[in-house]
Amino acid sequence: MHDGLLYAYFTAAGENRIERFPLDGDPLALGSGETVLAGIPAAGNHNGGRIAFGPDGMLYATAGDAGDRSSARDPAALSGKILRMTPDGGVPADNPYPGSLVYSLGHRNPQGIAWAQDGTMYASEFGQDTWDELNVIEPGGDYGWPDVEGAAGRAGLIDPVQQWAPADASPSGIAIAGDTLYIANLRGERLREIPLAEPASSIEHLVAEEGRLRDVVVTPDGELWVLTNNTDGRGEPRPEDDRILGFALR
């Protein structure tokens, strides 16, 4: 939600698209949609799809490489990127590539995005076969895909602050509460707690207890909500799946 409008990123016929909708009536219902951004490359997977407003009031969106690896480091392509735009879909004047929505590049399939209190931006990312990642996102930063996966120590490329084998991760949504970052993991079936003061460390919760975890958010009243994702054809549904689990923050 932003200024009374609900923003959504979805895969349509032949493209990924961002639209926004007014909420009308009692009970609330979606009004007619307005396109914010169209033409983001789409495929059967690697679509990215996380959107969030940053502390600067701009709209950020993750876009996967849509199976076209070579596009990820191409600044002229929207795929394999984190995009930054005005609420209307325009190009902010201070974006790192003049006239372009591209904020960072070299991503395979970026997922969750969140900001710390000091404005630092973090993003989780699905790797291929070797490493999933947690990255600190810098404007104009190149995160290396498809030339590298995980930390490479190569000049000009930004290494993740933490990486995991995909079997233990598949990091999806992330949230920040105070000085702690939380990551919901799908294949790894766990919630990671990462202190921002030591971003290479983590504590694991709910390991193999609730199945696949798709998203995590901090509610306005200070709870942590975790969304399970066991009914997507890849998990093993349990009674009453899928669910939102609530936890009190310490």
Provide the annotated active-site residues: 46
d(CA 193, CA 201): 9
Cα angle at 229 between 223 and 231, to 5 degrees?
Answer: 140
Return the percent helix, strand and coil in the chain, to nearest 5. Answer: 0, 45, 55
Residue 246 forms beta bridges with which residues? 225
Burial-class residue 144 by CB neighbours within 10 Å (0-12, 13-18, 19+).
Answer: buried
- CB count within 10 Å of CB 250 equals 8
Q: Per the structure block, which two tokens stand in for 118?
A: 């000091």
